[in-house]
Amino acid sequence: MDSGLTLRNVTISKGDQCLLQVDHHISAGHVLTVMGPSGVGKSTLLSFITGTLAPDFRAQGRVLLDGEDITDLPSHTRGVGILFQDDLLFPHLSVGANLAFGLAQGGGRQERLAKVAEALKEIGLEGFADRDPATLSGGQKARVALMRMLLSEPRALLLDEPFSRLDMALRAQIRTMVFDRARARSLPVLMVTHDEEDARAAGGSVITLGAE
């Protein structure tokens, strides 16, 4: 039925204190930006959606993805991709192995290696498969992290201040890249940020938390 990511009456609280309330539908290919100063619990909303909410928080409401209720599913079966401000490439794996880790299951070894090589080419890093991720530049790491996430074929995309660690020139470039890919795959995107520029570039609706 309704494709996209739906947050139905989501309330997150810690102890007696209510941190946030969201009721919103993000249609496929659109972006919802959640803004607010640090510490108001923007990131807890994302952990609730990925299923990794810390036990000292309490959450109510449902999360629906393409009409299916994913609220009680284990994290790894939700099909929700996420990018953080740090690239978080696995430091013990090569660049290629990082991508292969993300690549959805199936296919023979040769086939998977070919897909990884193709993905590297797509982000302008042809021949980087055997490299140590620690030796990449900031922009290169960000591109690998994005590609790793896309290869897992998520049905929605969460962004947790994803561009705040990048310098100005790079930020615009990576931002465009992320939003373009998300749109091309018709992914609903939920972005958490405190950067007005991010919100403008996203071009979707904006919710501001902790405004009162």
Partner 1 sequence: MRRGLWAAPSKRMRRRRFLPLLPALTLLAMLGPVAAGLWWTLLPAFGHLPAAGLTGPSIDPFNALFDWQGLPRAAFLSLSTGLIATAVSLLIVTLVTAGWSGTKPFRVLERLLSPLLSVPHAAAAFGLAFLIAPSGWLSRMVSPGLTGWERPPDLLIVQDTWGLTMAAGLVAKEVPFLLLITLAALGQTDARQSVNVAQALGYGRLTGWLKTVFPRVYAQIRPPVYVVLAYSMSVVDVAVILGPNTPPPLSVQIVKWMSDPDLAMRLVAAAGALLQLGLVIGALVLWRAGESLVAFLGERWICAGRRGRWDGVVAGTALFGGAAAALAVLLGLLVLAIWSFAGFWGYPDALPNGFTMRNWMRHGDGALEALGETAFIALVAATAAVLLTIGCLEAEYRYGLRLRARTVWLLYLPLLVPQIAFLPGLQTLLLGVGAEIGRIPVIVAHLVFVLPYVFLSLADPYRAWDGRMGTIASALGAGPERVLWHVRLPMLLRPILTAFAVGLAVSVGQYLPTLLIGGGRVATLTTEAVALASGGDRQAIGVYALMQTGAALIPFALALLVPALVWRNRRGLRYG
Nearer to partner 1, 36 or 79 (CB): 79
Nearer to partner 1, 21 or 85 (CB): 85
Compute the least distance from the CB of residue 211 to partner 1, in Å: 27
Q: Which long-range contacts (CB under 8 A, 24 or more apart) does 18-21 make?
A: 19/44, 19/57, 20/44, 20/45, 20/209
Compute the least distance from the CB of residue 55 to partner 1, in Å: 3
Nearer to partner 1, 50 or 173 (CB): 50
CA distance 54 to 44: 8
CA distance 42 to 186: 24
- Binding residues vs partner 1 (CB under 8 A): 47, 50-52, 54-55, 74-82, 84, 86, 88-92, 101-102, 104-106, 132-135, 148-149, 152-154, 158
DSSP state of 134: G
Compute the least distance from the CB of residue 34 to partner 1, in Å: 17
Q: Are 150 and 103 in contact (CB under 8 A)?
A: no
Nearer to partner 1, 27 or 84 (CB): 84
DSSP state of 77: G
Compute the least distance from the CB of residue 28 to partner 1, in Å: 17
